[in-house]
A and B are shown apart, each in its own frame.
Chain A
Amino acid sequence: MAYDAKFRVWRGDAYDGDLKDYSVEVNEGEVVLDIIHRLQATQAGDLAVRWNCKAGKCGSCSAEINGRPRLMCMTRMSTFDEAETITVTPLRTFPVIRDLVTDVSYNYEKAREIPSFAPPVGVAPGDYRMAQIDVERSQEFRKCIECFLCNDVCHVIRDHEDNKENFAGPRFLMRVAELDMHPLDAVDRQKQAQDDHGLGYCNITKCCTEVCPEHIKITDNALIPMKERVADRKFDPIVWLGSKIGLAKGSGRDKAPTTKP
C-alpha cells in the first residue's frame, strides 16, 4: 500500500526561495497535508505551514498544489499518480512569509472596510422573525470558511498588485451580497459594492466558484445578482432621481474607482 512519493515544496522567505525535492512515504487514505506533516516530523522540522482542523472546516491550509489553489487537508493523495511529482507552493496572490505561509492581511483589511450588519431598529433580541427560505440565500455565503482561495485565484488581483486597493475580491464582494440579502439588514449595500469594493472589476470568469472548497456558487448567486441589482438601480429613472436629490441611503459617498468595461 505505502509508497514513496516525489514532492517539490517551495522553501524560502520574503527575500529568497526555491523548490526543494523530497521523497516521502505515503499511506492509504492520506491527504497532501499528511505528507507535509510527515516531512516536518522526519525531514524538515522547520517547514512552515498553516493548518488547524484538518477537516476542511477552518480554511487554514490553503496552498497551490500543482498550480491549483486547494486546501491541503482536502486533497487526497489517491487523486495523483504514484509516479507523479507533486508540487506544493504558497498562495501566489499574497506575499510570502515563509515556505507555505503567506501574509493574508489584505483579506482582513478588506473585511474591515465593509460596514457591518445593521440591526433593525426597535426589534428586541429574541423578537427577530425570518423565514427559512429568506435566510437560505445568505446562509449559502456564510458557509465560507475564509480559506481565501477565491481571492487567490481571482485574476483581478492575482497578477495586478495595483488593483488590490480598490477591489475587495470575491470573498468580500460575497460578504456584501450576504448582507444585502440578509432579511433584516437595514443598510443599502448595492451602491457600496460598486463604489467602494470594486464590483465592476469582476468580469465573471467564475474562477472563484471553481476553486471554492465549500462549493459556494460565488459568481452565480452572489456576484451576478449584485451586478444586476446595481444595474437596475442605475438605469431606473426614479432611483436615479432619488439619488440625485439625496433620498437614497448611502448616497453621500462619492469615491468612484475606475471600472473595467
Chain B
Amino acid sequence: MTMSTPEPVAERHSYDVVVIGAGGAGLRAAIAACEAGKRTAIVCKSLFGKAHTVMAEGGIAASMGNVNSKDNWQVHFRDTMRGGKFLNNFRMAELHAKEAPMRVWELETYGALFDRTKEGKISQRNFGGHEYPRLAHVGDRTGLELIRTLQQKVVSLQQEDFLEHGDYEARIKVFGECAITELFKAGTEVDGPISGAFGYWRETGGFIVFEAPAIVLATGGIGKSFKVTSNSWEYTGDGHALALRAGATLLNMEFVQFHPTGMVWPPSVKGILVTESVRGDGGVLRNSEGKRFMFSYIPDVFRTQYAETEEEGDRWYTDPDNNKRPPELLPRDEVARAINSEVKAGRGSPAGGVFLDVSTRLKAEDIIKKLPSMHHQFKELADVDITKEPMEVGPTCHYVMGGVEVDPESAQSRVPGLYAAGEVAGGMHGSNRLGGNSLSDLLVFGKRAGDHAAGYVHSLRDARPAVTEAQVEAATRAALAPFLIEDRPNLERENAYTIHAELQQTMNDLVGIIRKADEIELAIKKLDELRHRADVATVEGGREFNPGWHLAIDLQNMLLISECIAHAALTREESRGGHTRDDFPGMNPEWRKLNLVLALDSPTAAGKADARVTLIKQPVPTMRTDLLDLFDPNELKKYLTDAELPASIAAAVPDSPADQPQKG
C-alpha cells in the first residue's frame, strides 16, 4: 500500500532559528529567538505542552533569598559545584547561579503563579544539596507550571503576531508531533555550518525539511535506554545523537543520575518519580529494621554539613541556622547508592526498595497540601495512602549529566549554528545534578541559546548555507529503511519492541547504578549485536501514526547513545557522582581533571552500524581564583590535586602532606 506509491516531495520551510524540543529549554530558547526578531520554529515529538518538563515536581532553584536572606549566587554556585563533585564547567555553574533568579521572576510576568511567602514573595523550599531553602515551587507540580507558563507565553507572542500581521504564526510556529531525524550541514567539512533539518510528521508520515542557519537542540535526555526510568517515551537521546552525527561532541556521558526515590510497586509503574520534596518537607528513609539508615552513609566530603543524630536532623527543619541538615537530604547520587546498599544487604522493603515515610512526620492535611500529586499518584496507582503509611521507593534512571559539549556563554556546540540547552547539553552539572537545578538550567541556558542563535543568524545576513536535494534524498532513504526490509527477503526480520526491551535490560543490568569493567565490556558486545539487529527491524502497517516505525527510528539514537555511555563508563576508572565503579570505589582527584569527550569517527554515517564512537580525554577548565576563594581550603583539598591548589590556599593549609610526591 504505502510502499507502492512514489515518495512525494517533502514540504520545505524556511526559518531563522529552529528549536528542536518544546520542554522548558526549547520554549525559553524559542521565546528569546522570537523576541530578538527572528522567525522561529518549535519542533516537538509530542503535542505542544506535553514535554517531559511537566514531570518535574520539586521546584526551580534560584537564590532569591525570599525565605533565608543569607542566600545568594555564591552559595548556590558552591552547592552546585559540590553536588557535581567539582567536575562541573565552573563558568556554566556561575552563570546559572547568577541568572536563575531573574529567569524565575520573568516567569511571573508571563503569568506564573508560584506558592507565596507570608510577605507575598515567591516561596522557596529545601532540597537535597542546597544550603538554604531555594526552590521556587507550586506544590509538587512545578514542572507543569513552568511548561504551561512558557506555552502560554508562546501563545501570547502569537497573539501579538496576529494583531500585527493577521497571522498567528507569522514569526513563531509550533510543529507538534513532528520528529527530526537528521541535521544538515553545508559542505563536507566537520566544522561546516548548520543548514537545516529533516523530519517526519507523526500523524501522516509525510516528510518535512527545514532550511535554517541556526538550530537549538533542546531534546532532553536518554532515560528510555534503561528499563527502570522516570523518563517518558520521548527520552531517546535524539539531540545527543543528532549532534554526534552532525560532527559535534558529547561530554562525560558516563554520568547518569539515578534518582533515589522511584516507585517500586506495582511493577507496571516501577520507576515513576517520587519527588525529593517528600524528604525536603520532612520525609525520612527507613530500612526493614525501621532504622534511618542514611546516618550511616554520610561521606567524608560532606561530614561537616550534615547532622550526626536524628535529634539534630529533626531540629534543623525548624531551626536551620543552629543545626545541621538530615542526611536524607544529601545529593541524589549518595542517597541512591545508600538505598542500593541497604537492599543488597537484605534490609529492603517487600517490593525491593526501602521505606520513605512522611505519614509519621507531618499531619495528613499538610501532606495533602504540600504533596498533592504524590498523594494522588500513590492512591491511584498503588492503593497506598501516604498520609497513613510509608511509600516503598528505590533508584530510577532519571537524568543524564553528560551531553553536547557547548560554549558556556553561547550554548553553541563545535558546529557553527548548532546550539544545545537543557538536559541535552553537558557540563553544567558535572558528575551529579542537584534537584531543582534542572528547571533553572532550562531557563538560563534556554534563553542564552535562543539569544545567541538569533545573534549568529543576524551576523550571517544573507549568506545562508543551503540544503541540497542529495541531502534530502539520503535522509529520506534512511528514514524509510525500516519499511524497505521487505526488499531483503533473506534477512531475519526483527521486532523493534523486542530489541528495545533487550537494550533496556542490558543498560539496567550492566551499565546501571553500580558498574564493573567486565560487565560494561559485556554490554558493549551486546550493544554491537543489537545495533546490527536494529538495522533489520521490520515495521508492519503504513506510515500514518505508526509507533512501530517511530520506535525503529528512535532505536538507532538510543543504541548510539548507549554505546557512548558504555565507552565513557569503561574509561573512567573512579567513582564520582552518577558513575559508580565497583572496581574503582573511590573518587580520584587525578580523574577530576579530565573530561571524556566522545565523537563519531565518520559523522555523516548517520549512526548506522559502521560509524564508530571515539573517545578522547580533555582537561577540565581551571576554575578562576575568585571562585576557588568561595570554598574552605580544607574542602578544596578533598577534590583537587595538590598541584591544582592555588599557592595561597596550599600555604594556608598547615596539614598539607609534605611527604606526598607532587603529581603531574
Residue in A29, A46, A55, A99 whose Cβ sees the most chain B Cβ within 10 Å = A55
Does A112 interact with chain B (Cβ within 8 Å)?
yes
Query: Are B268 and A34 within 8 A (Cβ)?
Result: yes
Does A19 interact with chain B (Cβ within 8 Å)?
no
Query: Are A52 and B113 within 8 A (Cβ)?
Result: no
Does A182 interact with chain B (Cβ within 8 Å)?
yes
Q: Which of A122-130, A150-158, A219-227 contacts B (4 or more CB under 8 A)?
A: A122-130
Query: Are B380 and A60 within 8 A (Cβ)?
Result: no
Query: Hey, what's the 0/1 contact readout for B491-523 against A, CB within 8 Å counting as 1?
Result: 000011110010000000000000000000000
**Residues of the A chain whose Cβ atoms lie less than 8 Å from the Cβ of B268:** 27, 29-31, 34
**Residues of the B chain whose Cβ atoms lie less than 8 Å from the Cβ of A119:** 109-111
CA distance A116 to B110 in the complex (A): 9
A74 and B541 in contact, given A54-B269, A55-B55, A55-B272 (Cβ under 8 angstroms): no
Query: Are A129 and B545 within 8 A (Cβ)?
Result: no
A57 and B116 in contact, given A45-B495, A45-B541, A104-B47 (Cβ under 8 angstroms): no
Does A207 interact with chain B (Cβ within 8 Å)?
no
Interface residues of B in 374-420 (CB under 8 A from A): 376-377, 380-382
Query: Are B109 and A57 within 8 A (Cβ)?
Result: no
Query: Hey, what's the 0/1 contact readout for B86-116 against A, CB within 8 Å counting as 1?
Result: 0000000000000001100110111101111
Query: Are B152 and A48 within 8 A (Cβ)?
Result: no
Query: Are B121 and A57 within 8 A (Cβ)?
Result: no
Q: Select which of B123, B267, B544 is within 8 A of A28 by beta carbon.
A: B267
> What's the nearest-Cβ distance from chain B to residue A228, in Å?
22
Does B309 interact with chain A (Cβ within 8 Å)?
no
Does B266 interact with chain A (Cβ within 8 Å)?
yes
Tell me how many residue pairs across A and B have CB atoms closer than 8 Å: 176
Does A117 interact with chain B (Cβ within 8 Å)?
yes
A51 and B54 in contact, given A74-B380, A125-B108, A142-B148 (Cβ under 8 angstroms): no
Q: Which of A81-89, A131-139, A232-240, A245-253 contacts B (4 or more CB under 8 A)?
A: A131-139
Does B212 interact with chain A (Cβ within 8 Å)?
no
A182 and B539 in contact, given A55-B55, A99-B545, A112-B155 (Cβ under 8 angstroms): no
CA distance A56 to B475 in the complex (A): 36
Query: Are A97 and B203 within 8 A (Cβ)?
Result: yes
**Residues of the B chain whose Cβ atoms lie less than 8 Å from the Cβ of A76:** 380-381
Q: Select which of B50, B113, B114 is within 8 A of A60 by beta carbon.
A: B50
CA distance A258 to B451 in the complex (A): 46
Q: Select which of B54, B114, B548 is within 8 A of A57 by beta carbon.
A: B54
Query: Are B541 and A128 within 8 A (Cβ)?
Result: no
Does A188 interact with chain B (Cβ within 8 Å)?
no
> What's the nearest-Cβ distance from chain A to residue B534, in Å?
15
> What's the nearest-Cβ distance from chain A to residue B265, in Å?
7
A60 and B46 in contact, given A55-B55, A55-B272, A125-B105 (Cβ under 8 angstroms): yes
A48 and B119 in contact, given A116-B159, A145-B144 (Cβ under 8 angstroms): no
> What's the nearest-Cβ distance from chain A to residue B277, in Å?
15
Instruction: Name the CB-closest residue of A to B382.
Output: A29
Does B302 interact with chain A (Cβ within 8 Å)?
no
Does B48 interact with chain A (Cβ within 8 Å)?
yes
> What's the nearest-Cβ distance from chain A to residue B352, in Å?
14
Query: Are A112 and B168 within 8 A (Cβ)?
Result: yes
**Residues of the A chain whose Cβ atoms lie less than 8 Å from the Cβ of B50:** 52, 58-60, 146
**Residues of the B chain whose Cβ atoms lie less than 8 Å from the Cβ of A143:** 141, 144
**Residues of the B chain whose Cβ atoms lie less than 8 Å from the Cβ of A142:** 113, 138, 144-145, 148
**Residues of the A chain whose Cβ atoms lie less than 8 Å from the Cβ of B496:** 45
**Residues of the B chain whose Cβ atoms lie less than 8 Å from the Cβ of A135:** 113-116
Query: Are B273 and A117 within 8 A (Cβ)?
Result: no
A45 and B548 in contact, given A52-B233, A112-B158, A135-B116 (Cβ under 8 angstroms): yes
**Residues of the B chain whose Cβ atoms lie less than 8 Å from the Cβ of A57:** 54-55, 141, 143-144, 373
A182 and B113 in contact, given A28-B267, A74-B380 (Cβ under 8 angstroms): yes
Instruction: Name the CB-closest residue of B to A214.
Output: B376
Query: Are A55 and B141 within 8 A (Cβ)?
Result: no
Does B232 interact with chain A (Cβ within 8 Å)?
yes
CA distance A128 to B108 in the complex (A): 7
Q: For chain B, give the interface size range.
A: 35 or more
Instruction: Name the CB-closest residue of A to B235.
Output: A52
Interface residues of A in 26-63 (CB under 8 A from B): 27-31, 34, 40-42, 45-60
Query: Are B113 and A129 within 8 A (Cβ)?
Result: no
CA distance A57 to B47 in the complex (A): 14
A52 and B547 in contact, given A29-B268, A46-B541 (Cβ under 8 angstroms): no
CA distance A52 to B177 in the complex (A): 12
CA distance A60 to B50 in the complex (A): 7
**Residues of the B chain whose Cβ atoms lie less than 8 Å from the Cβ of A50:** 46-47
> What's the nearest-Cβ distance from chain B to residue A147, in Å?
10
Query: Are A55 and B158 within 8 A (Cβ)?
Result: no
> What's the nearest-Cβ distance from chain A to residue B378, in Å?
11
Instruction: Name the CB-closest residue of A to B160.
Output: A116
Query: Are A130 and B138 within 8 A (Cβ)?
Result: no
**Residues of the B chain whose Cβ atoms lie less than 8 Å from the Cβ of A55:** 55, 269, 272-273, 377, 381
Instruction: Name the CB-closest residue of A to B549.
Output: A46
Q: Select which of B48, B121, B269, B539 is within 8 A of A129 by beta carbon.
A: B121
**Residues of the A chain whose Cβ atoms lie less than 8 Å from the Cβ of B267:** 27-30
Does B489 interact with chain A (Cβ within 8 Å)?
no
Query: Are A56 and B376 within 8 A (Cβ)?
Result: yes
Query: Are A74 and B116 within 8 A (Cβ)?
Result: no
Does B554 interact with chain A (Cβ within 8 Å)?
no
Query: Are B120 and A129 within 8 A (Cβ)?
Result: yes
A residues at B contact (CB < 8 Å):
13, 27-31, 34, 40-42, 45-60, 74, 76, 97-99, 101, 104, 108, 111-112, 115-117, 119, 125-126, 128-132, 135, 138-139, 142-146, 179, 182, 185, 215
Residue contacts A-B, CB under 8 angstroms, 26 given:
A28-B266, A29-B267, A31-B268, A34-B268, A48-B544, A48-B547, A51-B232, A52-B232, A52-B234, A54-B232, A56-B376, A56-B380, A57-B143, A59-B50, A97-B545, A115-B159, A116-B152, A117-B110, A125-B109, A130-B120, A131-B116, A144-B148, A145-B54, A146-B49, A182-B111, A182-B113
* 5 more CB-based (< 8 A) A-B contacts, given A40-B547, A76-B381: A57-B143, A98-B203, A101-B545, A112-B168, A142-B148
3 smallest CB-CB distances across A and B, nearest first, come from A29-B266, A46-B541, A117-B111
